[in-house]
C-alpha cells in the first residue's frame, strides 16, 4: 500500500495522486501541513528534508521529489503505462515535466494564482507588481506548452502520460485567475486538453477540499 504524505490543495501532491489514480493503485493520503506557522513538522523533515510535499512511502521504500514519484508509481505497479516507449516521445514527456517544474510552478501558481485568487479569497490584497511582472513569463510558458502539445486528447497525443498528470493541477489553478483564463484562450490546444482532462475520474477524485 502506498502512503502519500501531503495536502490535497497542493498541485504537486495532486500530480502524484493523479498518476496513482490513473494506475489504479490503492493509496492513503496522510495530511501534512508544511505551511504551519511553526514550520513543517519534524517527522516530515525526516521524510523530505526540504520541507516540501509530497513524500511517498511504499513498504520500506521512501521517496521524495514528484518527478521521481511519478516515474516510480508508473514503473513499480501494474496498470496502464503512463510513459511512452519511443525515445522521442519519452524525451518530450520529460521536457513537459521540466518546463512545469522549472518555469511554470512559481510563475503560474505563486505569482499569478496565489496573488490574484487565493490571497483575495483570504481577504488579503494581491501584489499587482508581482502579477504584472509574471505575465510576460507566463505567456512564454503557455506558448511553449501549446507548441509542444501533440494532436489528440493528451499532451503527447493519444497516450495519457505523466506529463498530463503533472500539468493539469498547475494549469487548472492558473486558469482560475482572469489573466490565466484569457491566456489559455489564446492556446486552444491546451485549453481543450485541460477541459477534457478535468472530466476524468482521477481529476474528480483528487478535487481539493476547502482550500486550493
Among residues 5, 19, 58, 66, the one that binds ligand GSH under rule CB under 6 A: 66
Please state the closest distance from residue 210 (CB atom) to ligand GSH, in A: 16
Nearest to ligand GSH of 85, 210 (CB atom)? 210
Does residue 52 touch ligand GSH according to CB under 6 A? Answer: yes
Decide whether 53 or 184 has the Cβ nearer to ligand GSH. 53
Contacts of 55 (CB under 8 A, 6+ apart): 4, 5, 6, 32, 44, 47, 48, 62, 63, 64
**Is the separation of the CB atoms in 80 and 160 below 8 Å?**
yes
Indicate whether 71 belongs to the interface with ligand GSH (CB under 6 A).
no
C-alpha cell at 71: 516515474
Nearer to ligand GSH, 95 or 192 (CB): 95
Starting at the edge strand found earlier in the chain, the sheet holding 2-6 runs: 27-31, 2-6, 55-58, 61-64
Site for ligand GSH contains 172 (CB under 6 A): no
Q: Which is nearer to ligand GSH, 106 or 150 (CB)?
A: 106
Closest approach of ligand GSH to the CB of residue 86, in Å: 25
The C-alpha atoms of residue 100 and residue 108 are separated, in whole angstroms, by: 9
Task: Tell whether residue 160 is a contact of ligand GSH (CB under 6 A).
Answer: no
Q: How many angstroms separate the Cα of 152 from the Cα of each of 1, 96, 195?
A: 33, 16, 13
Q: Residue 192 CB, nearest distance to ligand GSH (Å)?
A: 25
Give the range of 5-13, 83-91, 174-182, 184-192 binding ligand GSH by CB under 6 A: 5-13
Tell which positions 10-29 bind ligand GSH, by CB under 6 A.
10-12
Regarding 34 and contact with ligand GSH (CB under 6 A), the answer is yes
Distance of closest approach, residue 153 Cβ to ligand GSH, in angstroms: 26
Q: Three-state SS for 193?
A: helix
Interface residue with ligand GSH among 8, 41, 51, 89 (CB under 6 A) is: 51
Residue in 31, 11, 32, 15 with CA at minimum distance from that of residue 73: 15
- Nearest by Cα to 162 from 21, 8, 33: 21
Contact of 20 with 2, CB cutoff 8 Å: yes
Per CB under 6 A, residues contacting ligand GSH are 10-12, 34, 51-53, 65-66
Amino acid at each position: 500500500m502506498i502512503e502519500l504524505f501531503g495536502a490535497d490543495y497542493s498541485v504537486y501532491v495532486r500530480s502524484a495522486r493523479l498518476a496513482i489514480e490513473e494506475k489504479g493503485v490503492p493509496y492513503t493520503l496522510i495530511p501534512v501541513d508544511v505551511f504551519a506557522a511553526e514550520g513543517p513538522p519534524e517527522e516530515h523533515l525526516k521524510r523530505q528534508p526540504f520541507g516540501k510535499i509530497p513524500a511517498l512511502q511504499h513498504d520500506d521504500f521512501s521517496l521524495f521529489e514528484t518527478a521521481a514519484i511519478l516515474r516510480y508509481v508508473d514503473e513499480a505497479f501494474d496498470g496502464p503505462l503512463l510513459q511512452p516507449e519511443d525515445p522521442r516521445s519519452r524525451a518530450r514527456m520529460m521536457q513537459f515535466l521540466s518546463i512545469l517544474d522549472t518555469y511554470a510552478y512559481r510563475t503560474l501558481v505563486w505569482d499569478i494564482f496565489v496573488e490574484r485568487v487565493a490571497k483575495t479569497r483570504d481577504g488579503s490584497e494581491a501584489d499587482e507588481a508581482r502579477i504584472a511582472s509574471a505575465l510576460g513569463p507566463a505567456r512564454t510558458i503557455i506558448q511553449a506548452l501549446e507548441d509542444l502539445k501533440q494532436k489528440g486528447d493528451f499532451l503527447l497525443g493519444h497516450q495519457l502520460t505523466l506529463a498530463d498528470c503533472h500539468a493539469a493541477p498547475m494549469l487548472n489553478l492558473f486558469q482560475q485567475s482572469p489573466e490565466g483564463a484569457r491566456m489559455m484562450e489564446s492556446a486552444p490546444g491546451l485549453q481543450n486538453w485541460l477541459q477534457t482532462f478535468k472530466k476524468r475520474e482521477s481529476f474528480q477524485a483528487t478535487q481539493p477540499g476547502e482550500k486550493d
